[in-house]
């Protein structure tokens, strides 16, 4: 059985160095972990979160949100 991954959220940020995507996860103990960098592409951020053991499942890419589309 595969170990269940901790859920995380993908957020858009604007920083002095530029803007892009970051992931953030909150453990069951309340500890917050953020991605180390800012990613220019949404899917790069999702891929990094997954390689670190987090699960951004259910996250819709920004164009789906803008157009009001939903995943099935």
What pLDDT score was predicted for residue 3? 62
Confidence (pLDDT) at 29: 87
Nearest-angstrom CA–CA distance, 55 and 70:
19
Handedness of CA 32, 70, 50, 15 (dihedral sign): negative
pLDDT score recorded for residue 28: 81
- What's the pLDDT band for 72 if we cut at 50, 70, 90? very low
Q: How much is the pLDDT for 59?
A: 63
Q: pTM of the prediction? A: 0.71
């Amino acid at each position: 059985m595969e170990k269940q991954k901790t859920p995380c959220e993908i957020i858009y940020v604007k920083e002095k160095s530029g803007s892009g995507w970051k992931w953030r996860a909150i453990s069951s103990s309340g500890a917050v972990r953020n991605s180390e960098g800012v990613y220019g592409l949404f899917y790069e951020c999702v891929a990094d979160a997954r390689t670190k053991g987090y699960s951004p499942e259910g996250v819709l890419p920004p164009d789906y949100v803008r157009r009001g589309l939903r995943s099935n």
